[in-house]
Copies of this chain bind each other. A is one copy, B any other.
Amino acid sequence: MLKKTAKLLVTSSLILGIAATASSAADRVYKWKLATTWGPTLSPFIDAPQNMSKMVEEMSDGRLQIRVDASNKHKSALGIFDMVKGGQYDMGHSASYYWKGKDINTLPFTTMPFGMTTNEQYAWFYYGGGMELMQKAYKKHKVLSFPGGNTGNQMGGWFRKEINSVADLEGLKMRIPGFAGEVMAKLGLTVTNIASGELYTALERGTIDALEWVGPGMDINMGFHKIAPFYYTGWHEPATELQFLVNERKFNKLPKDLQQILVTAMRVSAYDMYIQNYHMSANAWDKMGAEYPNIKVKTFPKEVMDAMKKANDELLVEMKAKNPLLKEVLDSQAEYQRKARKWTEMSDYLFLKDNL
C-alpha cells in the first residue's frame, strides 16, 4: 500500500515541482537480511528471528522486510558476528558467548554459571544497567547487540551413571561446550565437542559418558532420555539469552519509526521465546516423564556443587584481573544478583516451596 503511495507521490511531486524528501524517506522499502546460527527447524531458537521479521513487516506495512537465512543457507553458523560486522548481513541471531575467542568482553551477556535467573537477568539488562554495558562492549565492533530470547534455566545434562562425589566425575568424557566446559575440565573431566548429529550414537556407545544440551523442550527430539537415565538439574546456564546483532551503520540509516519498530519487535520476540520454551519444556517433560518413568531427575550433591563453584570462581578471578571491562560487567552482575536474589527468594521461591 505504501509502495503505491510512494510511486504516486514521486510522479505527482515531479509534476508539481514539490520536493518529496520527507515522504520518500518514509515510504522507501528497506530489504534486509538476517543470518542465524540455527538450522531451519531448530525451534524455538529459529522462531525468535522469524517472529521478529514477521512483526516488523506487518507493523511497517512492508516498508522493512527482513529475510531470515538459517545456517544451511549461509553455511557459517559461527560466522554471524563477522558477517554482521562486515556488512554482508544487516542483522544476525546467535549468542554473545560464542564470540569470547574474538573478544572476551562479549562473554557475560548470555549467562554465567551460578548467575542470575532469567527474570533477574532481564531486570539487570533493562533496568539495572546491563544494556548500557552490553553496548559498551560491542561499540568498538560497530555492531549493536540486543537480547534475542531466553532458554530459561538449562539442565545440567544427561548422565549414564549417577554422580555421588567429585571422584565420580574424574575421567568422565562429557560434551559440554564453552565456559562451563572449562569449569568441568578443572574438575577432571575430559571435555569434548561432538557434532550434534553424532551425539546420540556417541552417548549410546559410551564414546562419551554424559552430555549437556538445553532442557526438555529441545532435548526430547534428540532422544537422550532413552539411553541415559540420570537427568541432572542446572548450574552452568541459569538464563541463556540469545542475541540479535545489528550492523550499526545500517541501523542508523533507518528512519526513526522503523528503528523503533525493529527494536520493539526484537524485544518482544525475545521475551516470547522464553515463554515459548517454558511451554515446550513443560509439555516435553510431561511426555518424557510419562513414557520413561525410569528417568531420574537429580541434583548434583553439595560436594560436587561446591567444587564447581570453586573452579568457576577461580576462572573468573583470573579473567577479571586481565580485563577491566569484563570485571566491570561481572561486578555489576554480582551486585545486581545479590539484591535481586533476595526478592526472588521472598517471592517465587518461598511460594513454590509450599506449592510443588
A binding-site residues for B, Cβ under 8 Å? 1-2, 4-5, 8-9, 11-13, 15-16, 18, 20, 22-23, 25-27, 55, 58-61, 114, 117-120, 122-123, 126-128, 152-153, 155, 215-216, 233-235, 238, 255-257, 260-261, 264-265, 267-268, 271-272, 274-276, 278-279, 281-283, 285-286, 289, 297, 299, 302, 305, 336, 339-356
Contacts and interface: CB of A to CB of B under 8 A. Distances in A.
21 contacts: A1-B25, A5-B27, A8-B16, A8-B20, A12-B18, A59-B260, A118-B348, A123-B275, A127-B275, A127-B279, A153-B347, A155-B346, A216-B346, A233-B351, A238-B348, A261-B261, A264-B268, A267-B268, A289-B342, A302-B354, A349-B349
Given A234-B347, A257-B61, A22 B9 contact: no
A127 B281 CA distance: 12
B343 A233 contact: no
Nearest to A279: B127
Nearest to A119: B278
A353 to B, nearest CB: 8
Nearest to A9: B9
B272 A126 contact: yes
Contacts of A336: 282
Contacts of A344: 352
A339 B123 contact: no
Given A58-B256, A285-B342, A346-B285, A351 B117 contact: yes
B356 A352 contact: no
Contacts of A16: 8, 11-12, 15
A343 B126 contact: no
A281 B127 CA distance: 12
| 6 A-B pairs with least C-beta separation | A12-B12, A153-B347, A127-B279, A61-B257, A5-B23, A268-B268
